[in-house]
Amino acid sequence: MDGKVVQLVQGREKALEADSPDEMLRRFAAFPEIQLIDLNAAIANGENSALIETIASRARCRVGGGVRTAERARRLVTQGAHKVIVGTAAFTPALGEISAAVGPERVIIALDSKDGKIVVKGWREATDFSAEEVIGRLESFCSGFLCTYVDKEGMLQGTDLSWFRRLRAATHHEITAAGGITTMEEIRELQAMGVHAALGMAIYTGRLDLAQLAEMQA
């Protein structure tokens, strides 16, 4: 956001600014993929294209934030994105166009849930349906799902493992869990059910040790 690496709480309040992108790339070099979200683009308040291109040229990245058109998806891939994350547009006719433009194998659909319902537009608007209801119907457009438990995102209070179990049972696609993951035990539980973990606040605040996490995937 605004050219800096930041961590928000529930997509709204900036909790901290991290080190420079160069330093963060160095710290995360042991991990297979970086999740890179253009928060300005997500809330339609500018974008960070130059920074995204720099980071995506140096690490394998899944990139999201404001991916609401096929043109934007293609541009991110051109800038180096390994995969693009589609949130709000996944619930509009644009999803088919995006998937066709870059191929479903490059698309990850974000299913962000708060109070049991999917939220869109930078988590500022709620829909009438749950992730469990729609995940199966979206499989043909993507290669995986990024599922964020927004209720606990950025709060270091743990996540809802039962929700991820229900989602795991509802699709054969890859699932990445996010939102509130705070302990090694939670990560092991997710691994046991075949779900990846996307980590943010717990790393930036030192609650989880990067060296220990790197050992887990060795």
Phi, psi of 145 (to 5 degrees): -130, 140
> What end-to-end distance do the CA atoms of the chain give, in Å?
32
Amino acid at the residue 181: I
pLDDT of residue 153: 82
Confidence of residue 42 (pLDDT cuts 50, 70, 90): confident
Please count the other Cβ atoms lying within 10 Å of the Cβ belonging to residue 32: 9
**Would you put residue 18 in left (φ > 0), alpha (ψ -120 to 50) or beta?**
beta
Convert the pLDDT of each residue in 129-186 to its tens digit: 999 999 999 999 999 999 999 988 877 889 999 999 999 999 999 999 999 999 999 9
CATH number at residue 51: 3.20.20.70
Q: How many domains does the chain have?
A: 1
Nearest to 181 by CA among 155, 150, 212, 159: 159
For residue 77, pLDDT over 60 is answered with yes
Is 58 inside a domain boundary? yes
- Identify the bridge partners of residue 120 per DSSP, sorted by sequence position: 125
Alpha carbon distance 80, 57 (integer Å) = 6
CA distances from 179 to 29, 31, 81, 92, 200 (A): 22, 19, 22, 24, 8
Instruction: Give me the mean pLDDT over the 55-65 stretch.
Output: 95
Mapped to the 3 state alphabet, what secondary structure does 145-170 carry?
EEEEEHHHCCCCCCCCHHHHHHHHHH
Structural domain includes residue 1: no
% of the chain residues with pLDDT over 70 = 100
**Closest Cα to residue 48, out of 78, 18, 4?**
4
The whole model's pTM is what?
A: 0.92
Given a cut of 60, whether residue 16 has pLDDT beyond it is yes
The answer on pLDDT for 45 being more than 80 is yes
In a domain, 39, yes or no: yes
Cβ–Cβ < 8 Å for 61, 36: yes
Residue 133 lies in a domain: yes
Number of H helices, E strands in the chain: 10, 11
Which residue range(s) make up the domain with 157?
6-216
Mean predicted confidence (pLDDT) in 50-71: 94
pLDDT of residue 154: 73
Which of the four pLDDT bands, split at 50, 70 and 90, describes residue 218? low
Q: Does 56 fall in a domain? A: yes
Q: Please report whether residue 193 resides in a domain.
A: yes
